[in-house]
Amino acid sequence: MARVVDGAESMARAEASQSERQTTPRSILLIDCGSVFTKLALVGIVDNQYRLLARTQVPTTVAPPYADLLIGVREGCQQLEALTGRRLVGPESILTPEQGDGAGVDTIAVTTSVGGPLRLLTTGPGREALAGLLYKSLGGLFAQPEALPVAPVEAAQDDPAWGELVAQLRALRPHAIVVIGAPSTGIRGAGTITDHAQSVARWLEVLRSAPREDEELRLSSLPVVFSGTTEDGMTLASTLRSATAMVHTVEQLTPATIGPLSRALNALYDGVVLREAPGYTRLRSLAGPATATLTSLAGVARFLAHHYKMNVAAVDVGASATMLAGATTNGEFLPALFPQGGVGPGAGYVLRAVGAPSILRWLAVEADENIVREYVLTRILRRRMIPTTQLELELEYAMAREAIRLALHAPGSRLSGLHPVDVLLATGGTLTNTPHPAHTALILLDAMQPRGITSLVLDSGRIATMLGSVAAVAPDVAAQMTENDAMPSLLGTAVSVTGRPEDGQPAVRAFLEYEDGKKDNIEVAAGALARLAVPHGRRALLSLYPAPGVDVGLGPGQQARASEPVEGGALGLIIDARGRPLDLPTATMERMARLREWRTAIGIGGAR
């Protein structure tokens, strides 16, 4: 873990030195190239503080009919021009640096998830033994690792099982193969490097032969990244000499050397994923290399955790990927990613991963598997579409819950073990544009299932995912923006209790004491959800009296009195006494009734 922190610190030092080389920017254009929309935000100085001046979004133009990312960027700039009256685009390109008349911007920072994740096939004698370190090295990268099985020496061409395996691997559309060398310590690896090198060579040959039309070029020169000793690297390179164009060897993976593999894969992401996106190369020449959205979100989570000395988790349910970024008070970074699953074109991945019943269980209205499948297919086929009916909204938020849970419990994720989560930040279009903020709160509580006291915060400016890229060029700007615009909206304070009281007793009693002496209290039964409004601008001290056996975060039966007052917000105080893990009734009618109860309790109007 110490090495992860070291890695983060060295990155911060690199960012700081980069920023020292630049003059302080007067204005920044943030561009987030997503899989469905390109989002742009203009940042400038207002009252000596960096503030969000305007933001907009346009459909991505990465696919036909335009097939050029920059067309969407230019259109977005023109929309910002219309909103702010400031000229951003010249005859050729975006104006930079800022001109004497205020036109243009000093800095352009790009984040992206376009093109999807870096899809990696992982193998090697050390892959199993060093899996934990491998996942740490992938932490913060927009990458999707999949295990590459050892190829049989003589695979029968007509063996259906072999044919199916080859088809599956081709369908993954891998960008690279990562070979993890044997661990250096006493742990024995699985097989020798020679065995694995020969297996990789066979795979490269199979993947190269008769590829699909669109994959021909890439699969013909699939790069291989090797982490291990120089000697093993030479063995691998020698075996693969005729099979691939590139074998990139980095230091052996140990707790002290996670960085080299991470950097190599990050470079690969820029080189093979992003550069495939039409127009990216020209955008890169304008703005420099893009930061993966997850990496950017991670930067924001780390900043918040460091700044507030709290455990923070940021949640972004996107159209094609779901990203969580956790950061602890001691600087530990806990990313969690479902790289191809979201609520838009990525909905199919969520459905296939969890099945229709898992989606249906979150619906308070009657629906069947056909409805779920048709909705998901429609979202795959109509990429820009968002819900237009109450049923579609229910399905969207059910998908969001499952996508978050898939990310939270993805292989290598340690975020699910983070307790307490002091701040839960919701960002991205799905969570920030809901008909009522209670939808966002309930999705977070249902999916993340925090324990103890958690501040639920909404990135209403929808710029959190862009700010990490600013940190690379201007850390002060990112810090001010995060405080001023990325986290301005407190949804409410949630108290999530665990354990069950004795029969007939309330699970917890909560007291609020306002600064003007006014008091308020509520008793919440086990299995219930309740809300106590705390108006905007009001502050109140919170006291919690759990029943014996019920834990509000300090241990079973332990009473709690907050040292800091609870701030007023859109929802106020939420008491979640539904228990952990959250169990939904299995009987359909009972489950739907319970879901409606919870929605009504938290303030979602019209819950039927």
* Positions in the binding site for another protein (CB under 8 A): 58-61, 63-66, 75, 79, 82, 167, 171, 173, 212, 214, 340, 345, 347-349, 351-352, 369-370, 373-374, 376-378, 380-390, 392-393, 433-436
Kind and range of the H or E element at 490? strand 489-496
Looking at the Cβ atoms of 373 and 539, the one nearer to another protein is: 373
DSSP 417: G
Torsions phi, psi of 450, nearest 5? -70, 160
Shortest separation between residue 61's beta carbon and another protein, angstroms: 7
Residue 560 CB, shortest distance to another protein, in Å, is: 35
- The residue (of 333 and 375) whose beta carbon lies closer to another protein is 375
Q: Which is nearer to another protein, 182 or 317 (CB)?
A: 317
What is the nearest approach in angstroms of another protein to the Cβ of residue 164? Answer: 11
State the nearest-atom distance from the C-beta of 404 to another protein, in Å: 19
Shortest Cβ 87–another protein spacing (Å): 16
- Report the alpha-carbon distance of residue 494 to residue 497 in Å, rounded: 10
Name the residue nearer to another protein (CB basis): 383 or 596: 383
Is residue 210 within 8 Å of 169, Cβ to Cβ?
A: no
Residue 82: CB minimum distance to another protein, A = 6
Q: How far is the CB of 151 from another protein (least distance, A)?
A: 21
What backbone phi and psi angles, to 5 degrees, belong to 168? -65, -45
Q: In terms of CB distance, is 330 or 433 closer to another protein?
A: 433
Q: Are the C-beta atoms of 76 and 40 separated by less than 8 Å?
A: yes
We find the least distance from the C-beta atom of residue 429 to another protein, in angstroms, to be 10
Closer to another protein by Cβ: residue 199 or 434: 434
For residues 573 and 510, the answer to whether their CB atoms sit within 8 Å is yes
* Residue 547: strand, helix, or coil: coil
- Determine contact, residues 142/321, Cβ cutoff 8 Å: yes
* Nearest-angstrom CA–CA distance, 225 and 253: 12
Comparing CB distances to another protein, the nearer of 149 and 435 is 435
CA nearest 556: which of 532, 574, 580, 540?
580
186-195 contact pairs (CB < 8 A, 24+): 187/129, 188/129, 189/124, 189/125, 189/126, 189/129, 190/125, 190/127, 190/128, 190/129, 191/125, 191/150, 192/125, 193/124, 193/125, 193/228, 193/232, 193/235, 193/236, 194/235, 194/239, 195/125, 195/150
For 95, residues 6+ apart whose C-beta sits below 8 A from its C-beta are: 87, 88, 89, 103, 104, 105
For tokens 């909404």, the residue is: 458
Residues 352 and 338: beta-carbon distance below 8 Å: no
Nearest approach in angstroms of CB 202 to another protein is 22
Which residue, 266 or 340, is less far from another protein as judged by CB? 340
Q: 454 or 460: whose CB is closer to another protein?
A: 460
